Amino acid sequence: MPARDNVEIGLNRFARRGYDLDEVSIVPSRRTRDHDDVSTAWQIDAFRFEIPLVTSPSDAVVSPTTAIGVGQAGGLGVLNAEGLWARYDDPTDVYRQLREAAGPHGGPPVSLLQRLYAEPVKPDLVTARVKELSAAGVTTAVRVSPQHTVQLAPTVLAAGVDLLVIQGTIVSAEHVTRAGEALNLKEFIADLDVPVIVGGAADYQTTLHLMRTGAAGVIVGVGADSWSTSDTVMGIRVPLASAIADAAAARRDYLDETGGRYVHVIANGRIETSGAIARALACGADAVQLGEPLRVAAEAPGGGVWWDSVAAHPRLPRGSTSAAAEPRGTLEEVLLGPADEADGRTNLFGALRRTMAKTGYRDLKEFQRVDLVIGGTGAEAPGPGHLAG
């Protein structure tokens, strides 16, 4: 396991020092390069993407239409097989209720989310949504939670999904339970013909264990964003820069262990600006998982309101909801520009291309070797009530 500075927090009690993305800065130290000569493409298994984007499976930003739009823009849209589009034949009225319940200073109440998500998941709707994505000609990806993988995965796979995403706040290779049979990821993945992305992982050892299950990609981070309450509710907070670096070390060690099998690291946390995307990739991630930044796209089904999937948990919600944000442009403009403000919220991946050009790297694998320095400017430091991820 990689060495890490330990800090004594009390008599004979130590904690590992960790760093978040806003504490890490990229240092230009090589030649510069024309931005047209830079590639932001990456490939997982047989699927190539022009931008290193995997969407969060939040219903606030991902509908079948936006998943297709992300695919056409060069990223991977992930639809939630346990979300509104799998519970309602037409969730238009559900979205209307959520938008109308959002005020100028806050989002719809979590209790409303819980009520709307109490509608059962309908397997035939899951099948219909996957086929809709496939018919559009984009790479199809669907998320299931670890708790419902055994029940829902056969439906998703039979519908012809290209990539299966098994994602929870924290996922382990082996879940221990006294109530029924637990999901064994290694056995489950071994029986599949499609690549699987699993997560989230929070440290080197968990990432390595998940890689050993046969996963094609591991999501690193617990998804904490500006509206996450995982820290308040459960005391869990993951400094994402350190978590990504640990996962990159696990990726390297697993590559050596297997004689060449490369597993992709996908960073998921408080990545809300183009600068944070660049820092996450510089720390060693192959791609980033974005949710909240996409709510300002005109096509976002939530109409600018944001909530994570765990905010609707029936027993222990771990996230609040946002007020509605004004659209900042089309989905393509948010992802690829042009930007009309200098706040890092639009042209997210065009900015990444510029960063890579300014530091002289031609592709993402090279860019992972860029020099880093500790000492954030505070420009993206958490505001009042914010819980860093």
Tens digits of residue pLDDT in 270-302 = 899 999 999 999 999 999 999 999 999 999 999
Beta bridge partners of 27: 371
Q: With pLDDT > 90 as the criterion, what percentage of the chain qualifies?
A: 71
Assess if residue 1 is contained within a domain. no
pLDDT of 360 reads 94
Assess if residue 383 is contained within a domain. no
Helices (H), the chain: 64-73, 92-101, 110-116, 123-135, 149-158, 185-190, 204-211, 230-234, 240-258, 274-282, 331-336, 348-359, 364-367
Tens digits of residue pLDDT in 187-239 = 899 989 999 999 989 899 999 999 999 999 999 997 667 767 667 777 777 89
Assess if residue 162 is contained within a domain. yes
The pLDDT-based confidence of 381 (bands split at 50, 70, 90) is very low
Please give the DSSP secondary-structure letter assigned to residue 322. Answer: P
Q: How many domains does the chain have?
A: 1
pLDDT of 170 reads 61
pLDDT of 232 reads 74
Mean pLDDT of 67-78: 98
Residue found under tokens 């089904």: 301
Determine the Cα–Cα distance for residues 299 and 329; give it in Å rounded to an integer: 9
Assess if residue 179 is contained within a domain. yes
Assess if residue 3 is contained within a domain. no
Q: With pLDDT > 70 as the criterion, what percentage of the chain qualifies?
A: 90
Tens digits of residue pLDDT in 296-330 = 999 999 999 999 888 888 888 887 889 999 999 99
Query: Which range of residues forms the domain containing residue 50?
Result: 19-374
CATH number, position 254 = 3.20.20.70
pLDDT of 331 reads 98
Assess if residue 386 is contained within a domain. no
pLDDT of 379 reads 46
Residue found under tokens 């974005």: 290
Tens digits of residue pLDDT in 242-261 = 999 999 999 999 999 999 99
φ and ψ at residue 233, rounded to 5 degrees: -80, -45
Assess if residue 12 is contained within a domain. no
